[in-house]
Amino acid sequence: MTARRAAALFAALLLALILAAPLAGSMAAPVYAAFSWICHQRPDRCWRLADHSLPVCVRCLGLYAGALAGAAAGWRFSRPLLLGSAALAGADWLAEAGGWLAPPSATRFLCGFLLAATAVPAIWAEPRPALPRRETV
């Protein structure tokens, strides 16, 4: 199995768990507990499904969806796109953490999506050739 397919499969599995958890009732407690290690799970920042919060916030959901999109589409790694999306996500987070603005859920989702979609292709990217060494005398 290629790294790209493994990444797509892993992201799809995580998204399936996230979307199935609100529908599983009390049987989903381990899923919520597992995701609590990496997400704050604040109900005001989580989208709802079947009148229950998802086990991750909107930004984390965007990360998982972006990882799946980037892996499934087989996008090529681009350092400028990754740096741009990281700057955008960082600015979004910093503005929120600093109390300057409260971005809407769609903005949080989009920032997470773009960050993961541009970062995941680094898994299967070809390494850059090393620069030739200069001889020292």
Residue stretches of the chain with pLDDT short of 70: 137
Q: Which of 7, 45, 40, 10 is nearest to 32 (CA)?
A: 40
How many residues are listed for the chain in this entry?
137
Each domain of the chain, given as residue ranges in start order, spans 3-123
- Residue 46 has φ and ψ, to the nearest 5°, of -115, 135
Q: Which two tokens stand for residue 12?
A: 């799809």
The string of DSSP letters for 47-94 reads -EETTEE-SS-HHHHHHHHHHHHHHHHTPPP-HHHHHHHHHHHHHHHH
Q: What is the pLDDT of residue 3?
A: 86
Q: What is the pLDDT of residue 137?
A: 65
Q: What is the pLDDT of residue 134?
A: 78
Q: How far apart are CA 63 and CA 10, in angstroms?
A: 13
